[in-house]
Amino acid sequence: MKEKELTSASGYVFVVLGILLWLFGGMFASSNAGALAALTFIAGVIMTAGLTVINPNEAAVATFFGEYIGTMKQNGLRWVNPLYRRRKISLRARNLNGQKLKVNDKMGNPIEIAAVVVWNVEDTAKAVFEVDDYQKFVEIQSEAAVRKLAGMYCYDTIEDEDATITLRDGSGKINEMLEQELNERLERAGVAVLEARISHLAYSPEIAGAMLQRQQASAVVAARKQIVDGAVGMVEMALAKLSEKEIVHLDEERKAAMVSNLLVVLCGEKSVSPVLNTGTLYN
Question: What residues does each domain of the chain span?
Answer: 9-90, 94-203, 219-267
* Predicted pLDDT of residue 161: 59
- Termini Cα distance of the chain: 97
* Predicted pLDDT of residue 173: 87
Least confident of 44-53, 56-65, 136-145, 262-271: 262-271
113-154 pLDDT, tens digit per residue, is 999 999 999 999 999 999 999 999 999 999 999 999 988 888
* Predicted pLDDT of residue 148: 92
Please indicate whether residue 58 or residue 172 has the higher confidence score (pLDDT): 58
Q: Which phi and psi angles does 271 have, rounded to 5°?
A: -65, 135
Helices (H) and strands (E) in the chain, counts: 7, 10
Q: What span, in angstroms and rounded, lies between the C-alpha atoms of 8 and 78?
A: 6
Least confident of 106-110, 167-171, 217-221: 217-221
* Predicted pLDDT of residue 126: 95
Q: Which phi and psi angles does 93 have, rounded to 5°?
A: -70, 140
Of 74, 44, 47, 46, nearest to 58 by C-alpha is 74
CA atoms within 13 A on the CB side of 98: 27
247-259 pLDDT, tens digit per residue, is 666 666 666 666 6
122-140: buried (b, 16+ CB within 10 Å) or exposed (e) per residue?
bbbbbbbeebeebeebbee
* Predicted pLDDT of residue 268: 63
90-100 pLDDT, tens digit per residue, is 999 999 998 99
Residue 276: CB atoms within 10 A of its CB come to: 4
What's the CATH fold of domain 94-203? Tetrahydropterin Synthase; Chain A (3.30.479)
Q: What span, in angstroms and rounded, lies between the C-alpha atoms of 169 and 163?
A: 10
Q: Would you place residue 214 in the very low, low, confident or very high pLDDT band (cuts 50, 70, 90)?
A: low
Kindly state the average pLDDT of the residues 29-41. Answer: 79
The C-alpha angle 28, 30, 31, rounded to 5 degrees, equals: 65
Please indicate whether residue 74 or residue 269 has the higher confidence score (pLDDT): 74
pTM of the model: 0.70
Which amino acid is located at 257 in the chain?
A
Kindly state the average pLDDT of the residues 26-33. Answer: 76
Q: What span, in angstroms and rounded, lies between the C-alpha atoms of 167 and 26?
A: 73
